Amino acid sequence: MLSDAKGAAERLALARITTGLAALNTLWHLPPGEVLADRWDPNEAQEPGGRQRARLTAEQYEGLRRLAFVSIGAWTLGCENKAVKFAANASFAAVQRHVAQFDQRAWNYNSNLNVYLLLLSLTDSRGSLAKEEAAPPEIATAVLGAMRLYYACVYFQSGLSKLLLSGPSWVDGKTLRGSWAELGTRAGKWLSRRPVGVAAVASALALGFEVAFPAAQFMLRKRPQVLGVASLAFHASVKATMDISFWHHAVHALPLFVLPPEAERHTVRVLRHLLVR
């Protein structure tokens, strides 16, 4: 297994809170239905064969958005009702699909939240929020392993796409150097003016990190904190040099790898304190 059995239930409970808050933050910041309706171009909404792709009206979108917000919020706070979990997954998926239709290049930008929401809905992941014993240890271990494996696959597919689209030439530094120059922060623009060898080294390190993450996860399965810290450092460097944030992915390094299982009790205690204020 890719996950250690010790503390699996607690890590799932932390991941539940993390996923719920990330999904709620996403829903809160999505554009209103009227704005999306104004941007809709029927010519760009055709499926192969000339058929018109089905879409939600502004009212349907807003209704599903509210349903997703309420159901995910209830689930995050410990509701295990099957109807609530189904509503959370279905409405959030429908909202995500509707928004993704406006930019097909970013269709899977934060679909990791849908995957984590679904995996966590397969079992009782409440942890300390539950009065009774939650999921059996073997089920919690399996779900945690699936979440960690998916986390690794996000990196692996990114590295693989670089190799398939650009080949080994991606590590020559020219692509990254151009990105630093075009998208870079002050630090990124400064790096773009350094010798191309600097970008080449950074490119090779980034590609190696992404492609090797699944194997490293297996080899370091007894030391998950090392992987989590490496992941956070990777995203911090991207943010610092190009101001690109994959926060919805990186934030899951905390419950899945970095935080100790004991942190779950303290997190729930703080959450309860905030709710009863």
How confident is the model over 124-143, as pLDDT tens digits?
999 887 776 666 888 999 99
Say what the pTM is.
Answer: 0.89
**Residue 1's pLDDT is what?**
42
Q: What gap in Å lies between CA 79 and CA 66, rounded to an integer?
A: 17
Residue 85: CA atoms inside 13 Å, Cβ hemisphere, count?
Answer: 17
Q: What gap in Å lies between CA 242 and CA 202, rounded to an integer?
A: 13
How confident is the model over 197-253, as pLDDT tens digits?
999 999 999 999 999 999 999 999 889 999 999 999 999 999 999 998 899 999 999
Residue 59 neighbours by CB distance under 10 Å: 11
* Bigger pLDDT: 107 vs 196: 196
How confident is the model over 257-272, as pLDDT tens digits?
999 999 988 888 887 7
